[in-house]
Chains A and B, each alone.
Chain A
């Protein structure tokens, strides 16, 4: 479980990135932290694995104050996949890349081998085992980065802007993969401003603006609220935009998906007003 208690954080250059954030994320939850670039999302999640420590307030991971333990200890439980895989890839081949963290955490040879095989298989990378990570395409490098984090099986997984630069097929695969991980009991936290992606997953949404949490609840409630969306400099999901305009004619506003939209329109078309 992750708890943030009135967390304030100011960068050394004086920028106040977090101004009193309090929240609780329980085990097994699927959460999307959203907001404009600069709202404090990445700053916040960097507190969850101890990369940053609060300048005021505290963060507890499984009831342990992050200021009392090293990043390596927290990283064992909290896996963090950075936005740009090129910020972490350095090994001669994919196999070494994936075993890097496992070696750091002190796993034995046998376990490392098994875990590497498992991670390669999971992310469809077995054919690239001996390839240099630098020779792979952008999408493949992203999968290598993800595999190298999943390899040590952290119970909490944080993904920073996982959908940037991905085409719709890749995004769909990612979506299903994340949902599968969550079903297996992992806590999944994604930091993103990709509204459509979040609208399709419907996780718990924590909305941030100017270093504060301005909303925390169901995706359906938050993403369809025009005021909240405007305050956080996002846009409404595509389908919601259609229904916001139809709101005056008795249609509900909180519509996210294509099929529920179809049902609502057809019901009206066939049978008149259905309240």
Chain B
């Protein structure tokens, strides 16, 4: 099922000199953000705590400025809509936002009702709601859990419900704000696989805010690093991780990248910056000409 877009231009998100200051704040949360996101990209947005990445996320679906107030300067166009001129409920049909804490974004008493929530808000006919709910549940692999209460689910399952509820609205873009924060490593891995599937198979543009680059870097086609409210790096993961500024920004690059860098210093070039342990062992085997028995 391919998501049908509404914009003709290639860029699905476009910002020009975007800056935002929270109400009553002394200094802006971020400034000078110039960004162009193309349809189908998988963007990894990272940076130390307080760099402005979470704030930027909330601009994409209109929570900023409509819910938070404050001063939003510059231009932000998402799926053809100027966010400052459209209400959140309109933008939300194009941009889904999944939050960090799974429990606080599930309201209903059953998984099914929660996934249906957004669709009910949109006033869709019942059979359409039914169809989309079942589809979203199946895509995220939680169809069997549809009658369970959120309290009975594990953190990983709750996050899947959150993703399914957003997915059911069939947005072109899904933004996820540190979705693996509260999850154990195995659940984190599984959730990232689900998100990867949404991007690869269904074509949804993904913006993922994450600290755990070791888990997430392999899925992204683009990494954006923020620090002190500014974008300091923006590019292909392998190139960004090679850049010295990444370490200076306080971002934890994956250990396998550190390994690559320290090997180069001592004269062994693996040929490509690895983004996962699987890739690393393959590169090592090739570099050492090990027999693939």
- Please give the residue numbers on chain A whose beta carbons come within 8 Å of chain B beta carbons, in ascending order: 36-38, 137-139, 164-171, 193-196, 233-235, 238-239, 241-243, 245-246, 248-249, 258-259, 261-262, 265-266, 268-269
Contact = CB atoms under 8 A, between A and B. Distances in A.
Contacts of A164: 181-182
A249 B290 contact: yes
10 contacts: A37-B187, A137-B49, A171-B252, A238-B255, A241-B278, A241-B281, A242-B280, A245-B277, A258-B258, A265-B288
* Majority DSSP secondary structure for residues of A touching B: helix
Q: 5 smallest A-B Cβ distances: which pairs?
A: A168-B252, A241-B277, A245-B281, A169-B250, A193-B184
A138 B184 contact: no
Contact of B185 (A165, A195, A239, A242): A195
Contacts of B73: none
B285 A239 contact: no
Given A164-B181, A233-B184, A138 B49 contact: yes
Interface in B247-285: 250-252, 254-256, 258-259, 262-263, 266, 268, 277-278, 280-281, 284-285
Nearest to B281: A245
B171 interface: no
Given A238-B254, A246-B281, A262 B184 contact: no
A132 to B, nearest CB: 14
Contacts of B187: 37
B262 to A, nearest CB: 5
Contact of A170 (B49, B100, B268): B49
Given A137-B50, A166-B49, A169-B48, A234 B277 contact: no
B196 interface: no
B160 interface: no
Contact of B186 (A36, A243, A245, A265): A36
A169 B252 CA distance: 7
Given A167-B48, A246-B284, A262-B263, A235 B256 contact: no
B222 interface: no
Contacts of B50: 137, 139
A235 B186 contact: yes
B189 interface: yes
B75 interface: no
Contact of B277 (A171, A233, A238, A248): A238
Contacts of A233: 184, 186
Nearest to A38: B154
Nearest to A239: B255
Given A137-B49, A268-B288, A235 B263 contact: no
A238 B256 CA distance: 7
Nearest to B185: A235
A36 B187 CA distance: 10
Given A196-B255, A234-B186, A245-B278, A165 B181 contact: yes
A234 B185 contact: yes
Which of the listed residues B181, B262, B284 has the most CB atoms from chain A within 10 Å of its own CB?
B284
